[in-house]
């Protein structure tokens, strides 16, 4: 396909595709899907080789959020039955982080529900960052605490944070339909504050909320303009008790096209498959590693992921390798830029929403005196929602049970 040849050439040069080209990726047919994956995979391997970065989430404060984000199980008035607890103590958070690091993660993502942190909250998180870094040499820490006030990004940087996550989630045109208690501009402002403070900015999206292809392209082009080091791609987990609980709009094929589009638009950024990969990509997850160079290990904020060992096996079986703490995630030109502006480790985050083929068989048989070919059995594409794959987290942070890592 001429389109794919053009997109690969542009990706290797870090040249921005046109909106029409990005839309065309989303419009490709399932028959062309493997060609799309192979093309975007060339771009991914050019900038990141076959490394996969592992990240681990620690939910410092769960539920109890005053914001009304429609996708979030921690929202105001939530009836989801998730774990609800206030701030973990630094030693509790450090213990939770240790499980993920022992499983191969090189980054810990500290997340707290709420509109944004108070200065006291920033102090709490600073203590947690210190506890984690004192016990784990070379670990990266990303904070995700909501909207930042003036000076807070700088204090987090001084406390040892390497990155800050705040997702745009959806296009500016449709943001008001998803959230009313803060604005799209508020989110952009927080990402800019993180940049200005020398933190590695992490900002991404949530797909599957009923948005159009144009909305997806709009938000990814906005992210390209903000230029975060890391772009997490979340696939909506429709949790019962949230306004978007009935929004089952994704197929594994669409998820792969979305990831390919993000890679073409943000060729040299860390693209992370975040929340919802098990629910929507399902058995197609290994293919997605050809598009993204980063995933979360184990569970998410309020829902469970697949077993941590299954993640490690998947990476090895697909022919990829886990990125070590001695390796720099970002391409050299990005890493050097991060160092020049006072950034951290240069390999940077989150799945936080922000608060957070078919198979046929042939055979023959005897029918009278004639042999007839059996009609091939064709498995129809799955169309019903896999609600059975959504499980509320009942282990790890905030519980007495061992975490999944």
Across 292-325, b (16+ Cβ under 10 Å) vs e yields bbbbbbbbbbbbbbbebeebbebbeeeebebbeb
Nearest to 162 by CA among 189, 136, 188, 185: 136
Burial 153-167 (b: 16+ CB within 10 A, else e): bbbbbebbbbbbbbb
Longest Cα–Cα distance of the chain, Å, equals: 87
Q: Using H for helix, E for strand and C for coil, what is the string for 161-186?
A: CCEEECCCECCHHHHHHHCCCCCHHH
Tokens found for residue 364 = 């023959």
CA dihedral 261, 264, 268, 274 (to 10 degrees): 10
The torsion angles phi and psi of 268, rounded to 5 degrees, stand at -105, 10
Spatial separation of the C-alpha atoms in residues 78 and 391, rounded to whole Å? 16
Tokens of 10: 């542009």
Taking alpha carbons only, the member of 141, 50, 139 closest to residue 102 is 139
User: 318 pairs with which residues across the strands?
Assistant: none
Q: Catalytic residues, which ones?
A: 65, 69, 72, 109, 142, 202, 272
Query: Which residues have CB under 8 Å from 18's CB, separation 6+?
Result: none
Nearest to 362 by CA among 372, 370, 353, 354: 372
CA distance 252 to 284: 6
């Amino acid at each position: 396909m001429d389109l794919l040849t053009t997109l690969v050439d542009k990706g290797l040069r870090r040249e921005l595709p046109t909106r029409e080209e990005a839309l065309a990726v989303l419009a490709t047919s399932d028959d062309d899907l493997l060609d799309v994956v192979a093309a975007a995979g060339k771009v991914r391997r050019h900038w990141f080789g076959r490394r996969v970065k592992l990240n681990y989430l620690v939910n410092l404060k769960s539920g109890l959020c005053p914001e009304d984000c429609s996708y979030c199980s921690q929202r105001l008035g939530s009836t989801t039955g998730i774990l609800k607890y206030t701030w973990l103590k630094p030693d509790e958070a450090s213990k939770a982080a240790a499980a993920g690091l022992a499983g191969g993660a090189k980054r810990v993502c500290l997340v707290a529900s709420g509109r944004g942190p108070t200065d006291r909250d920033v102090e709490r998180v600073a203590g947690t960052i210190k506890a984690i870094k004192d016990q784990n040499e070379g670990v990266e820490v990303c904070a995700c605490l909501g909207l930042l006030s003036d000076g807070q990004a700088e204090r987090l940087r001084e406390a040892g944070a390497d990155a800050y996550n705040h997702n745009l989630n959806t296009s500016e045109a449709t943001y008001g339909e998803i959230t009313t208690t803060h604005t799209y501009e508020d989110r952009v402002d927080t990402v800019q504050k993180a940049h200005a403070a020398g933190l590695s900015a992490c900002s991404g999206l949530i797909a599957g909320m009923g948005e159009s292809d144009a909305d997806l392209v709009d938000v990814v082009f906005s992210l390209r303009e903000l230029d975060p080091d890391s772009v997490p791609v979340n696939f909506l987990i429709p949790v019962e008790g949230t306004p978007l609980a009935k929004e089952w709009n994704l197929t594994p094929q669409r998820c792969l096209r979305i990831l390919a589009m993000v890679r073409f638009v943000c060729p040299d950024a860390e693209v992370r498959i975040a929340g919802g990969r098990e629910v929507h990509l399902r058995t197609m997850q290994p293919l997605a590693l050809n598009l993204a160079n980063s995933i979360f290990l184990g569970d998410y904020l309020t829902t469970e992921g697949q077993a941590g060992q299954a993640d490690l096996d998947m990476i090895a079986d697909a022919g990829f390798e886990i990125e070590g703490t001695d390796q720099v995630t970002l391409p050299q030109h990005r890493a050097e830029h991060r160092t020049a502006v006072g950034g951290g480790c240069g390999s940077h985050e989150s799945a936080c929403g922000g608060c957070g083929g078919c198979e046929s068989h042939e055979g023959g048989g005897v029918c009278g005196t004639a042999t007839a070919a059996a009609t091939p059995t064709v498995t129809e594409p799955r169309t019903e929602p896999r609600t059975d794959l959504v499980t509320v987290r009942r282990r790890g942070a905030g519980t007495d049970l061992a975490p999944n890592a």
